[in-house]
Structure 1
């Protein structure tokens, strides 16, 4: 569109410098009040009625003796976090007796009426001798009381693993228990809303699984959200090894109990399609821009929705020392055809808004989240010219092509030929953000290409 013909787009508002916390903070090892985003693993997000955000997470502690009991943190803005404490005084007796667990995993909190329900997992690592327990309270900070056992599985038995619970709600307001892992995949079953426990016996229905004979074979950390605009349910899961190549995938369905398919129409419960790494639309894996800390093994996400604003909440490990897990929150945007994509940068208070076309031209760093990649993917360089041309580095990303921006919807379209000469396209959103690597405001984009591969961009200079 000719600049003289288009409607003026106001200058976007970039977020102010957010609070930052030190990485690999040895001085805070025994000072829980200074943990903030440190020692967060498998975070479950919950927003209370007064606007306070809570994160409940797996019991982990870097370089010190572990204290079990479900870690709790809170925030007013999703950026600055305050240590609350532990929800429980330790592992409930029944859970410890049945599973031999040494810590509690992957809690999820759900409010029904005036009662808060916390679902926790107890397990012996590497087995499916597991239990999902229910605790109830009248406050998100407790005290918590026993509410029963939502699901249990026995070590060595065929079938699922009773860990990683989430309470999902369908379009009719019905509640479902979602859970599972490497052992036979992800399952879903209806809940009795009055008790918070399954409404019928058995494990429920399997909706995602992988062939355990290939690669890691792991799928875990399920989370379902419904999008009214697209009339789709979205199942987020984490693939592969916690400590080697963890990554986040998604599929969608017309129904909460599936079948869930990825961008290419492959079912997330298809254990026969090869390679298995191509099943599930990969939203992010390990990555590293040219400056600052790289991040590895991101995953086990929850999702927060506030009106039209969506956020992914997950953990990631610093590339320099992957022993240390941290809380990450990223804005979720949506492609024109209804797929979620996540910001390349952690949330810093930015809002989605129109983006003037004249801000696009400049030097960009590009990250392509190839589904088969196990390593942290490094950034490539490309220049987006004011005339709409793309000039790349001749590598696997944007070699040469054209870009186009719908300013008012902040929707970016990319067209290029890859190193094999194949014509490619991608579509997604341009967002304002905070460049955490360089400590400056930044423009970013997040897209899916025509093969369902996530592409990130960050503008680094004019």
Structure 2
């Protein structure tokens, strides 16, 4: 596949010259992105968060024709809706999500204050995805000091019968799911719904940003969540279920509500902070949405620049699926590529490999190794098992790992050239990501 490098925007990190010019923000200042495709246009709605300048509330909106170049649209509101403001005292809105029931768009949002559970999920409607939006008030709210969920981070997903459900929640009480009435956009049965994921208080119950997507090819619902601190060591985990109300289990069969196992043993980790050689890398990827576009799936998330973590940006990455039905995420941002047959001779050479270690949620450094066709003791070699399916035998640089995965074309954003990328997992469900460093 030929990637058109002429349309790819180069990174300009820490650019203080654009702080007061929203039209130039592009992927800057995106946090907790919710995604939606309307016709031939992709939209991202995101939290009121920005570096410097005069803070403005209202939910940021951006759009794109290619998932690569992003244009500022505006804000959904000019202020925090009164009902949400009165309940929470919030100065801004968090974690929006957009869906469409019939001919009406529904914009879900959260209002709260950091570290509190006096929280509010509301909804607004519009006949146009770019607004104007009319607030419809409360969907669900929680009260400070009461045990249970925290009413933030709403995501609307549809089950295989077409019924909408809201998954929501965060630190403190865990992640819950409850059915939505598409006629009103509000809960069928008012209340917290069913608990589907929770972490132990030894890690401050650090789970949030839930997103559920149904994949009909495997007949599973996939629950994506973010672990740990959004400021430093965010990482994305996934589990799946045959039922939208759970139980959701990870690759090793651990339920997402398990509070007895070590907290990092639960949830299949698919992306965390990383660093390829010759770059400063990225940290704290998380609070993702998943965009299904025909047969293609993309993970859309925010991430922080490593040298100054105040700066957060939008990343879009391709999702591929293993033969046994698990999502894996490209180590490089989307640049227009897709899956295609890859000949083994094209991928022989020097690779940088990242072990997405479930117990190391800080920035993980890549390891450089040479892949060959020769099956020799102490060497790293590769075996082709399908058009773009490969097994990497890593015997030098890693403790004898056999990693089954997918190779596809990609764009090396660090070296600004085409390359091949690899996404795979071993028999324990540990994920490995890599790129061919001599590119093409």
TM-score, length-normalised on structure 1? Answer: 0.92
Matched residue SS, 1:151: strand
Q: What is the Cα deviation at residue 231 of structure 1?
A: 0.7
- Which residue of structure 1 lines up, in the alignment, with residue 318 of structure 2? 331
- Tell me if 1:374 matches 2:374: no
Is the CA contact 1:356–1:407 (under 8 Å) kept in the aligned structure 2? no
Which string of whole-angstrom CA distances, capped at 9 and with x for unpartnered residues, describes residues 278-314 of structure 1? Answer: 1100001100000223100100000001121110000
Which string of whole-angstrom CA distances, capped at 9 and with x for unpartnered residues, describes residues 316-368 of structure 1? Answer: 00101111000000000011111000000000111211111111100000111
Distance verdict in 2 for CA 1:389–1:72, change over 3 Å: farther
- Tell me if 1:358 matches 2:348: no
Give ranges in structure 1 of 5+ residues lacking alignment.
1-11, 392-399
Comparing 18-27 with 276-285, greater Cα deviation is found at: 18-27
- Which residue of structure 1 lines up, in the alignment, with residue 142 of structure 2? 153
Q: What is the Cα deviation at residue 21 of structure 1?
A: 4.1
Is the CA contact 2:372–2:380 (under 8 Å) kept in the aligned structure 1? no
Cα separation, 1, equivalents of 2:204 and 2:352: 30
- Which residue of structure 1 lines up, in the alignment, with residue 70 of structure 2? 81
Matched residue SS, 2:308: coil
Q: What is the Cα deviation at residue 16 of structure 1?
A: 3.0
Matches within 5 A, 1:365-444: 365-387=352-374, 400-408=379-387, 410-417=388-395, 424-444=401-421
Cα separation, 1, equivalents of 2:410 and 2:352: 15
Is the CA contact 1:383–1:390 (under 8 Å) kept in the aligned structure 2? no
Q: What is the Cα deviation at residue 99 of structure 1?
A: 0.3
- Tell me if 1:247 matches 2:235: yes
Cα separation, 1, equivalents of 2:105 and 2:303: 28
Distance verdict in 2 for CA 1:443–1:419, change over 3 Å: closer
Distance verdict in 2 for CA 1:389–1:292, change over 3 Å: farther
Matches within 5 A, 1:71-110: 71-110=60-99
Is the CA contact 1:388–1:402 (under 8 Å) kept in the aligned structure 2? yes
Matches within 5 A, 1:173-252: 173-212=162-201, 214-252=202-240
RMSD: 1.6
Matched residue SS, 1:27: helix
- Which residue of structure 1 lines up, in the alignment, with residue 27 of structure 2? 37
Cα separation, 1, equivalents of 2:273 and 2:431: 12
Matched residue SS, 1:461: coil
Matches within 5 A, 1:256-295: 256-273=244-261, 275-295=262-282
- Which residue of structure 2 lines up, in the alignment, with residue 6 of structure 1? none
Is the CA contact 1:128–1:156 (under 8 Å) kept in the aligned structure 2? yes
Is the CA contact 1:117–1:137 (under 8 Å) kept in the aligned structure 2? yes
- Which residue of structure 2 lines up, in the alignment, with residue 163 of structure 1? 152
Give ranges in structure 2 of 5+ residues lacking alignment.
none
Cα separation, 2, equivalents of 1:419 and 1:81: 39
Is the CA contact 1:15–1:350 (under 8 Å) kept in the aligned structure 2? no
Which string of whole-angstrom CA distances, capped at 9 and with x for unpartnered residues, describes residues 5-62 of structure 1? Answer: xxxxxxx4345341224111110011111100000000000100x2111100000110
Which string of whole-angstrom CA distances, capped at 9 and with x for unpartnered residues, describes residues 111-153 of structure 1? Answer: 1111000000000210110000000000010000122311100
Cα separation, 1, equivalents of 2:163 and 2:351: 45
Is the CA contact 1:336–1:427 (under 8 Å) kept in the aligned structure 2? no
Cα separation, 2, equivalents of 1:95 and 1:308: 38
Is the CA contact 1:389–1:403 (under 8 Å) kept in the aligned structure 2? no
Q: What is the Cα deviation at residue 387 of structure 1?
A: 3.3
Q: What is the Cα deviation at residue 446 of structure 1?
A: 0.7
